[in-house]
Structure 1
Amino acid sequence: MKLHSITLLLFLTLFTACKEQKPTPGRDDSASLDSLFQDYYQFKQRINPIESSKGGETKYNDRIANYISDPYQKNLIATYGQFLEASKKYDSTSVSPEQWMSLKVLQWDSNIKLEGLNNKMVTIASPIYDMPSFELMPLGQISSLQLYVAQLAAGKSVQPFHTVKDYDNWLERVDDYLVFLDTSMVKMKEGMSKGVVLPKVLTEKMIPQLDPFITDAVEDHLFFTPITTMPEEFSKEDRDRLTLAYSGMISDKLKPKYKTLQQFLIQEYLPGCRESSGLGALPNGPETYNYLIKYHTTTNMTVDEIHELGKSEVTRILIEMENAKNKIGFKGDIKVFFEHIRTSKDQMPFTEPSQVIDNFNSIKDRIVLKLKEVFDISPKADFEVRRTEAFREASASAEYVPGTKDASRAGIFYVPIPDVATYNKYANEALFLHEAIPGHHYQLSLQQENKNLPEFLHPESMGVFVEGWALYAESLGKELGLYEDPIQYFGMLSMEMHRAIRLVVDTGIHGKGWTREQAIQYSLENEAESEDAIISEIERYMATPGQALSYKIGQLKIREMRTRAESALGEGFNIQEFHNQVLNSGSLPLVLLEEKIEAWIKNGGKKS
């Protein structure tokens, strides 16, 4: 049965079983709570099949959730409510501290999802990292399902193409995807009638992204790629059948649907798109942005508080950048130095994309020599550095996609290289620390390999923790033998500045009425990124309000916790154990992370 046709009855049946397992006097609350955690994990797998595939689960590889449909959202509201009610039956004295922490994460997750589902503009559980998605603006030029599905179709991402069953699963998953596209156009038309539409500039970027999926010949089509790499052990009968099926899927289903979508965007949607840049201009926009701040930062901070924090961080980092510039020996002012870094041929030495990849691999070799001085645990999973696919490279940022729990599929650190001749390496060391070791690859792999955690805590989850950790990881460069080149240290400061600027421009765009051009200009004045990169980033913030706040808010909290622990514990502070404490409970809302580290400090910083 397809996920988009699962009825409320099926979900409620699951919870009837949950209710029967609720603790009563004399029963084992720990075992009962573990059972609830497992039910929650299974629920999360069902509602987000692509995330399930990402984690290495196989039973939903033939499905895509039509997460913007009304039945899907009603099911979510009912089911999250059931889990929240079931979670209230437990007491901190009857379960282990680790279980109690996990239960509080479950409660946080359920509450924040319910708040979003009851928002007039937002829907929850997009297949893109379990992030909020806009019901009436479901497609965009970045972090959007049509881009993610194309990434899966290439056959080198989280969608497996090893067996005949895998190939048949993908055909069914594409059928679900086509239903999603139909629903998207219906919802976007509804958005047009209510004045809830994308900024025109974002729609203009999305339209040409569809071109290759319409015009490429079947044998050259991205969705045909798995056929060109079929395992040799497939029988001739299966090879012929699958070739015919994939050809028909592309020519008879996919191409016509993309053409319909593109014509809709050009002829109907684009003329009705808005000139404004932020959510504040939309009906219920300010309320929605306040919710997204809470979702992405796990705090109750206001627009003004975050905006002012961002400006103060920009000022602080500019002073550090000035000092770094002077140590390098550059004589001009900081803005001239930004331009120097942007255009320096010394920082653009590559002639082949493979050289960019090799450079990142050499950074890995250096880090490994010092890693055990800062961490006493490491993941089993490996990762590879890979160039971002051409169809999304122009609008993409560097990113990390986790491998499977059993480490059978390595993680992938994607690097966009749209023009190797202008690829600037000045921040490569900080970027590697963020995306790979000890950033996303390290943290996410340890998280999903941790058998002491309930399985629902294995996926990515809290962005403020995941991205906060990765930004904190950038600051560990000197401890890990990097930043010996002063340009690379300046690159680290530039990366941190980039995240501080996000606090200012994201709140500016969505909370203070800034235009796209104002945000671009603020960024150009305060960082060394190229204008093209800055434009791409600003348009990303326009498309994903609040998400960019998570990095700096999370990093500041982790750094605050480390400073507090170093001060309180003195010589008893152990950096390896501090990192263990941060990493061994999964992705936590910041309030729970702070609570945990405070308890660890009070316990003398002992190894647990």
Structure 2
Amino acid sequence: MQKRFSFPPLPRTALAIAAAAALALSGCAGSSGSGTPAESYAASGQTGSPSNASSDAASEQARFDAFLAHQFQESVQDDPLSLHFLVRNPENYGITEPEMKFPEYSLEQLQKDSEENAAVLEELSSFDTSLLTSDQLFTYRMMKDTLETEAGSKGLELYNQPLSALIGTQAELPTLLAEYTFYNRADIDHYLALLSQIDTYYKQLAAYEQAQADAGLAPSDDTIDRILKSCKSYLIRPENSLLTETFASRLNAVEGLSNAEKASYKAKHLTILKEHFIPAYTNLSKALESLKGSHPEVGGLSTYEHGREYYAYLAAALTGTDSSVDALKTRIEKQMQADLSEIRVRLKEHPELVRQMTDSAITLSDPDEILQNLQTQIQDDFPALTDTSYTLKYVPEALESSLSPAFFLVPPIDSDGSNTIYINEKASTEQNLYTMLAHEGYPGHLYQSAYFNDREPVPVRRLLACGGYNEGWGLYSELYAYSFDNGLPEAVKPLMRCSEASSYGLYALLDICIHYDGWDLATTTSYLENSYGFTDPESAREIYLAIIDNPGNYLKYYTGYLEILTMRQEAEEVLGNKFNAKSFHQFILNMDGASFRVIKPYFQTWLMTEKLHV
């Protein structure tokens, strides 16, 4: 899981959406960067003539650059936490020092953001795309796709879910605050000012949850209980808090602080934890407790009045696919059957592989050794990068039940290139650590982020990055790692990959069945038992509730992977022995986080170019 600031997934202005969901953003405002592939496609469908390519073109291109820079500034100006993780030196991007507070979260604000989206889309439509450069046109298409997709949420603002057990604001925000880097003394003051606002911010979230309940959209009691369990993880003595653990080391990184100043800062920090942080979680928990009984039915989004409509929007926004929900379901089922069929055929031909699958294991288990190994393994099939450093950290024991198995924190685009990967020892095992670090590290999110920064595209593209693209690449990388030299027998590798892929596919399929088709627990349990041999009803219940809590999340991973896999399969079929994995991966990486709706026409041009020139 790539931690782009997922606090909370709020649709502020279409760009601020991404700002609130982005822990790191990109290059210099107005920079054309390295460009995107398929430049011949850039002018397709446009009506301008070559005679426009002088002063008119230069004027329109300058106006568009100014528009992009303004949108970037507006999107992050009022979100200081996102801003801190996006850029280290905001003044270089024309951004003045913001007021240290969390962005407002309310129904009224979300509705206002929806109106602002429409205004931005109207302004975007004023540009003559025939006069833009190919690189600008790519950004234009990214932004247009994002804004048009977000229009699908208009009138459904109360269906957002800022709180959830695993990836909700209350679970992730403390980790982000703990990673708030102090580059100088001002950063310490900014952090403390922001931390002192957390109770005010959580009060807004509680009011939003109450508004949902008043509209008949409250979460079920079971879901509330799991969120409460997450909150409880942070209701410990401030002296033992994750924030306290990291505060001292962050202070030590600031030059020029005397021991007396450090002691003063520590005392102030502890006071804020006692007077603001603990009350934030205490009051939020009380507010959630009071909502119990508002929605007794345990079920997916389809149990709410406009739930299926919202899920269709969510699927389009999170995955970036151009498939309808029904069509996507068919595609998922088809790929799952292909993977399971490959397993059956191989095992039928070689029964001894059953035992080998059980007995075989990836030999590497030390995280540092794994990451070093992965950097070596990717050299043949993935483009070269500048050197990247990383820091491995472990989720504190008290938070192991509340956080993901692993996640990567994207650094600021103008930082020193350092990267942080968190490992949750409770949720990870030696067996899955290798592929998990391929997902988070190489060639997954760390590599993906470094590649993006090396290209220095316009920063607004980070705000527009599609979750399906990012997590699809992460899952693609995770499954690709089964092909590396990792200690597994060659005959076992494709079986392990297909088995793992079908598991992700199953969760994505159930995501649709539960939230869109309306499956209840009994139907889900029956399906798992009859189709996959799940005999433990408690395991089936855990799967069901995990999907209930996070609509669209599992769908995002697998659909992104499926889109990349589908393009690769087409490229292999068309190019035959001319197919080059490194060239394909470079094309995908050059797409800078665009939705697959935007990528596909570029892919067809890339494929044609490869066929003609390889």
Q: Tell me, yes or no, whether TM beats 0.5.
A: yes
Distance 2:482 2:216 in 1: 50
Give the gaps of 5 or more residues in structure 2. Answer: 1-11, 17-29, 31-53, 91-96
Which residue matches 1:130? none
Q: Does 1:376 find its partner at 2:383?
A: yes
Deviates more, 1:286-295 or 1:111-120: 111-120
Change (3 A) 1:380 1:98: farther
- After superposition, what is the alpha-carbon deviation per residue over 1:57-82, rounded to whole angstroms, capped at 9, x for unaligned? 46578745435224533542343233
Deviation of 1:278 (Å)? 0.2
Which residue matches 1:274? 296
Which residue matches 2:597? 591
Alpha-carbon contact 1:62-1:169 (below 8 Å) kept: no
Give the alignment partner of residue 388 of structure 1, picking from 395, 416, 426.
Answer: 395
Alpha-carbon contact 2:198-2:276 (below 8 Å) kept: no
Q: Does 1:85 find its partner at 2:122?
A: yes
Distance 1:30 1:380 in 2: 34
Q: Secondary structure at the match of 2:335?
A: helix
Which residue matches 1:213? 234
Which residue matches 1:442? 447
Give the alignment partner of residue 410 of structure 2, picking from 402, 412, 415.
Answer: 402
Q: Secondary structure at the match of 1:51?
A: helix
Alpha-carbon contact 2:244-2:270 (below 8 Å) kept: yes
* Structure with bigger RCO (C-alpha 8 Å, 6+ apart): 2
Which residue matches 2:33? none
Q: Secondary structure at the match of 1:477?
A: helix
Distance 1:179 1:564 in 2: 51
Which residue matches 2:61? 30
Distance 1:392 1:606 in 2: 54
Q: TM-score, normalised by structure 2?
A: 0.80
- Output the amino acid matched with 1:471: L
Distance 1:495 1:280 in 2: 28
Deviation of 1:506 (Å)? 0.2
Change (3 A) 1:112 1:314: same
Change (3 A) 1:387 1:195: same
How many corresponding residue pairs? Answer: 552
Change (3 A) 1:82 1:263: closer
Alpha-carbon contact 1:293-1:301 (below 8 Å) kept: no
Which residue matches 2:369? 362
Q: Does 1:295 find its partner at 2:332?
A: no
Change (3 A) 1:603 1:26: closer
Deviation of 1:576 (Å)? 2.0
Change (3 A) 1:82 1:522: same
What pairs up with 1:542-553 in 2 under 5 angstroms? 542-553=548-559
Distance 1:379 1:202 in 2: 44
Give the alignment partner of residue 513 of structure 1, picking from 511, 518, 533.
Answer: 518
Which residue matches 2:473? 469
Q: Does 1:42 find its partner at 2:73?
A: yes
Q: Secondary structure at the match of 1:413?
A: strand
Change (3 A) 1:511 1:224: same
Alpha-carbon contact 1:462-1:587 (below 8 Å) kept: yes
Q: Does 1:222 find its partner at 2:242?
A: yes
Deviation of 1:413 (Å)? 2.9
Deviation of 1:196 (Å)? 0.7
Deviation of 1:347 (Å)? 6.2
Q: Secondary structure at the match of 1:372?
A: coil
What pairs up with 1:57-72 in 2 under 5 angstroms? 57=88, 63-70=100-107, 72=109
Deviation of 1:537 (Å)? 5.4
Distance 2:287 2:504 in 1: 36
Deviation of 1:54 (Å)? 2.6
Give the alignment partner of residue 203 of structure 2, picking from 182, 199, 214.
Answer: 182
Q: Does 1:56 find its partner at 2:61?
A: no
Distance 1:570 1:466 in 2: 27
Deviates more, 1:268-277 or 1:583-592: 268-277
Deviation of 1:48 (Å)? 4.5
Distance 2:283 2:475 in 1: 41
- Output the amino acid matched with 2:310: T
- After superposition, what is the alpha-carbon deviation per residue over 1:387-431, rounded to whole angstroms, capped at 9, x for unaligned? 233343224233222223245253233332227xxx543344332
Distance 1:522 1:414 in 2: 35
Q: TM-score, normalised by structure 1?
A: 0.80
Change (3 A) 1:286 1:376: closer
Give the gaps of 5 or more residues in structure 1. Answer: 1-6, 12-17, 123-133, 350-354
Distance 1:212 1:559 in 2: 39
Deviation of 1:536 (Å)? 5.7
Give the alignment partner of residue 456 of structure 1, picking from 449, 453, 460.
Answer: 460
- Output the amino acid matched with 1:440: H
Distance 1:217 1:362 in 2: 36
Change (3 A) 1:246 1:407: closer
Alpha-carbon contact 1:67-1:73 (below 8 Å) kept: no
Change (3 A) 1:70 1:505: closer
Distance 2:418 2:241 in 1: 26
Deviates more, 1:255-264 or 1:180-189: 255-264
Q: Secondary structure at the match of 1:241?
A: helix
Distance 2:199 2:259 in 1: 29
Q: Does 1:557 find its partner at 2:563?
A: yes
Which residue matches 1:101? 138
Q: Does 1:499 find its partner at 2:504?
A: yes
- Output the amino acid matched with 1:228: A
Deviation of 1:596 (Å)? 0.6
Change (3 A) 1:50 1:328: farther
Alpha-carbon contact 2:445-2:474 (below 8 Å) kept: yes
What pairs up with 1:562-581 in 2 under 5 angstroms? 562-581=568-587
- Output the amino acid matched with 2:370: I
Distance 2:233 2:556 in 1: 34
- Output the amino acid matched with 1:36: F
Which residue matches 2:172? 148
Which residue matches 1:235? 258
Distance 1:203 1:405 in 2: 37
Alpha-carbon contact 1:210-1:258 (below 8 Å) kept: yes
Q: Does 1:245 find its partner at 2:268?
A: yes
Q: Secondary structure at the match of 2:570?
A: helix
Alpha-carbon contact 1:506-1:541 (below 8 Å) kept: yes
Deviation of 1:476 (Å)? 3.1
Deviation of 1:595 (Å)? 0.6
- After superposition, what is the alpha-carbon deviation per residue over 1:366-397, rounded to whole angstroms, capped at 9, x for unaligned? 33334232123325433344323334322423
Distance 2:599 2:326 in 1: 24
- After superposition, what is the alpha-carbon deviation per residue over 1:520-577, rounded to whole angstroms, capped at 9, x for unaligned? 6655764999998876654342222123212222222222222333333445433322
**Aligned-pair RMSD on alpha carbons?**
3.6
Change (3 A) 1:517 1:238: farther
Q: Secondary structure at the match of 1:213?
A: coil
Q: Secondary structure at the match of 2:430?
A: coil
Alpha-carbon contact 1:375-1:576 (below 8 Å) kept: yes
Which residue matches 2:7? none
- Output the amino acid matched with 1:366: N
Deviation of 1:492 (Å)? 2.5
- Output the amino acid matched with 2:329: H
Distance 2:469 2:535 in 1: 25
Alpha-carbon contact 1:506-1:548 (below 8 Å) kept: yes
- Output the amino acid matched with 1:32: R
Alpha-carbon contact 2:408-2:422 (below 8 Å) kept: yes
Deviation of 1:510 (Å)? 0.5
- Output the amino acid matched with 2:267: L
Alpha-carbon contact 2:238-2:270 (below 8 Å) kept: yes
Alpha-carbon contact 1:426-1:487 (below 8 Å) kept: no
Deviates more, 1:589-598 or 1:454-463: 454-463
Alpha-carbon contact 1:429-1:488 (below 8 Å) kept: no
Distance 1:368 1:204 in 2: 42
Percent of aligned pairs with the same amino acid: 16
Deviation of 1:516 (Å)? 4.2
Deviation of 1:120 (Å)? 4.2
Deviation of 1:36 (Å)? 1.6
